[in-house]
Amino acid sequence: MSRRGERPPPEALATLPVAVDAMGGDKAPGEVVEGAHRAATGHGVGVVLVGPPEQVGDTQGLDLLPCTEVIGMDEDPAGSVRRKKDSSLVRAAELVRDGKASAMVSAGNTGATMASALLRMGRLPGVQRPCIATPLPRLGRTPAVLVDAGANAECTPGMLVQFAQMGAAYVSARFGTEAPSVGLLSIGEEPTKGTPLVKETHALLNDEAASGDFEFVGNLEGRDLLPSPADVIVTDGFTGNVTLKTLEGSLRFLFDTLLGVFGTDDETRTASQALLPHLLPLAAEFEPENTGGAMLLGTDGVCVISHGSSNATAMLNAVLVAHECATRGLADHVAAAVRSNEKG
Amino acid sequence: MSRRGERPPPEALATLPVAVDAMGGDKAPGEVVEGAHRAATGHGVGVVLVGPPEQVGDTQGLDLLPCTEVIGMDEDPAGSVRRKKDSSLVRAAELVRDGKASAMVSAGNTGATMASALLRMGRLPGVQRPCIATPLPRLGRTPAVLVDAGANAECTPGMLVQFAQMGAAYVSARFGTEAPSVGLLSIGEEPTKGTPLVKETHALLNDEAASGDFEFVGNLEGRDLLPSPADVIVTDGFTGNVTLKTLEGSLRFLFDTLLGVFGTDDETRTASQALLPHLLPLAAEFEPENTGGAMLLGTDGVCVISHGSSNATAMLNAVLVAHECATRGLADHVAAAVRSNEKG
């Protein structure tokens, strides 16, 4: 499925628009178009919307690639991508494949977004399975990334090693991190702790880190995730997805609880006025809309998977991250990271 | 390994002391003895300490079963239990086995505590593997319990079904919950989401719930854990341990962050004085020392596994929970829940 060598070089990608699935997410098309418009007018990033014109409506002057179909949030990913060949998701992926867009962005059906990117762009050479990299905030520092955040419920040790390589390439390309540190999520620090999958991966990562692309810091536990001492946290997509949603849920629960306390009476409302200026910047670091969304790694082209509840700000940031990563040659870096393993 | 029928009946257990590993945990023996003393003097619960007299020191007038060995926090669980036959953990488990204590409590090496209980008390008839049940707070309601919180990194669908049965029996015995609801931790609501383990378990739980001992509410996601809509959340011990530590870590991180904001300047310190009276009762619900610790389910006798950092209050609550669960016939309820499955 790979198309090695056909992707335009990074300097050419910089001149291409980002393909935005205008119909993806709970707030499409309104907030999606608004976010794309802000990226184009406020940041000079080219955008091409993809969607059925009559459903998209006002494009705010942005280019639109018309299509006739939309994949719903609850549709079967693989089946819908096979069936709906003229859907906004499939057409967006084809724009990247055909060198007409630098990257794609969607806040729609996550599985269908992955399937579109995988089936239309193809996998990078040597990549067994693409994975999802999701940022975890580290107050005042660049975020850590969790791989795999949910693309692959079942994994082999070899896949987890590739997730580490791809995740390290991603934080290098996006944040400029040199020799990123990689930790393996487990249930104890000792290499003997965990499932056979984790124990075997631990040994492989030790070997792989010797090649020099990343530093392996050993096992991490759930309590180490906020803030993560490692730039990349590797796990299977089942554990990763459960962990990520556990973090999201506990943070939201505590924020809601805190807001409830603030509103108890006049005294607490007054007190909250003194605290909010200090709390809001911290809360902003935990707000998914500010992180640019999750990145699909391992496909032959850049694909950003935004949260289904994305608003215009989230879409703006997703477009900016997609453009930046494409321009910095993310796919080339990921391909090189995986290739270096094949040689070793 | 089971000893069906030898355990004293609940009414006899109520008259027996709780065996407390005086040397277990970071704050042993001082805080452990203090907590046990409070249980005895303040709540009339009999206690027998177990430990080397010269290391335990002042027993505050409590009975002490002397032994000569202690299993350290980092020792190999199975090996240390086999080797150290006169250790405080092994002797505590033998007191329960021999009908001389109603239950055992330790804040020491978790793996060695499980191994001692399993090897000395034995498994209940039909139980494949004991599991750890850990409470998850639900503000103002009885806690939910997560099973397995870390005893078994590798599980089969049959084991997960037994965890559900044992967890349901536990919340019934401890909190009086009638027809407890059970949820299965996965990465989506649909029965088709997750690993083969989760998908097969989903089908089995549907069948099992028809027998009437619990209600199966389907899959839960990580974001549903606080507060959990189900009384029992079932998962394998790897995912359970990662999830639990992720929750602990994120809550601690946010509490610490909040305390940091409170201390910013005079204005925030003043504001915090208005809020703390409302926040502290909430924080107390998240404090492990108040929950009585984790319960080992499936052994032929009650065993409470306290947090390694347990202080006197944590030990007091652990002793009270151990006594209460033994007196209510927890092991019999767990045995009956698993037996009803074997008939089905």
Question: What is the tens place of the pLDDT at every residue in B121-149?
Answer: 999 999 999 999 999 999 889 999 999 99
Query: Residue B266's pLDDT is what?
Result: 93
pLDDT at B2 over 80: no
Query: Is A183 near chain B, with CB under 8 Å?
Result: no
Percent of chain B surpassing pLDDT 90: 81
Per CB-CB distance under 8 Å, the chain B contacts of A225 are: 246, 249-250
Mutate to test the interface with A, among B156, B186, B245, B259 (most CBs of A within 10 A): B245
Backbone angles phi, psi at A28, to 5 degrees: -80, 150
Query: Is B16 near chain A, with CB under 8 Å?
Result: no
- Which segments within B125-241 are labelled E, that is strand? 131-138, 141-147, 181-185, 215-220, 232-234
Query: Residue B11's pLDDT is what?
Result: 84
- Note whether A164 and A220 are within 8 A (CB): no
Closest CA to A235 of A201, A192, A190: A201
Q: What is the full per-residue pLDDT of chain A (344 aa) written as tens digits?
A: 444 446 788 888 889 999 999 999 999 999 999 999 999 999 999 999 999 999 999 999 999 999 999 999 989 999 999 999 999 999 999 999 999 999 999 999 999 999 999 999 999 999 999 999 999 999 889 999 999 999 999 999 999 999 999 999 999 999 999 999 999 999 999 898 999 999 999 999 999 988 778 999 999 999 999 999 999 999 999 999 999 999 999 988 888 888 899 999 999 999 999 998 988 888 888 777 777 789 999 999 999 999 999 999 999 999 999 999 999 999 999 999 998 755 44
The verdict on a CB contact (< 8 Å) between B271 and A271 is yes
* Alpha carbon of A45: minimum distance to chain B alpha carbons (Å): 34
Q: Which two tokens stand for residue B101?
A: 């204590």
Query: Is B195 near chain A, with CB under 8 Å?
Result: yes
- Note whether B206 and B215 are within 8 A (CB): no
Query: What CA–CA distance (Å, rounded) separates B13 from B100?
Result: 9
Per CB-CB distance under 8 Å, the chain A contacts of B258 are: 258, 279
Query: What CA–CA distance (Å, rounded) separates B278 from B301?
Result: 40
Backbone angles phi, psi at B246, to 5 degrees: -65, -45
Query: What CA–CA distance (Å, rounded) separates A168 from A155?
Result: 18
Per CB-CB distance under 8 Å, the chain A contacts of B76 are: none
Query: Residue B342's pLDDT is what?
Result: 58
The verdict on a CB contact (< 8 Å) between B249 and A278 is no
pLDDT category, B341, cuts 50, 70, 90?
Answer: low
The verdict on a CB contact (< 8 Å) between B275 and A272 is yes
* Alpha carbon of A106: minimum distance to chain B alpha carbons (Å): 20
The ipTM, to two decimals, is 0.93
The verdict on a CB contact (< 8 Å) between A257 and B187 is no
Query: Is B238 near chain A, with CB under 8 Å?
Result: yes
DSSP one-letter code for B299: B
Query: Residue B296's pLDDT is what?
Result: 98
Query: Residue A292's pLDDT is what?
Result: 76
Query: Residue A11's pLDDT is what?
Result: 84
* Alpha carbon of B192: minimum distance to chain A alpha carbons (Å): 11
Query: Is B78 near chain A, with CB under 8 Å?
Result: no
The verdict on a CB contact (< 8 Å) between B246 and A225 is yes
B 118-147 residues inside an 8 A Cβ radius of A: 139
Query: What CA–CA distance (Å, rounded) separates A231 from A178?
Result: 10
pLDDT category, B82, cuts 50, 70, 90?
Answer: very high
Query: Is B272 near chain A, with CB under 8 Å?
Result: yes
The verdict on a CB contact (< 8 Å) between B251 and A250 is yes
The verdict on a CB contact (< 8 Å) between B249 and A274 is no
SS (H, E, C) chain A: CCCCCCCCCHHHHCCCCEEEECCCCCCCCHHHHHHHHHHHHHHCCCEEEEECHHHHCCCCCCEEEECCECCCCCCCHHHHHHHCCCEHHHHHHHHHHCCCCCEEEECCCHHHHHHHHHHHHCECCCCCCCEEEEEEEECCEEEEEEECCCCCCCCCHHHHHHHHHHHHHHHHHHHCCCCCEEEEECCCCCCCCCCHHHHHHHHHHHHHHCCCCCEEEEEECHHHCCCCCCCEEECCHHHHHHHHHHHHHHHHHHHHHHHHHHCCCHHHHHHHHHHHHHHHHHHHHCCHHHCCCEEEECECCEEEECCCCCCHHHHHHHHHHHHHHHHCCHHHHHHHHHHHHHHC
* Alpha carbon of A189: minimum distance to chain B alpha carbons (Å): 11
pLDDT category, B1, cuts 50, 70, 90?
Answer: very low
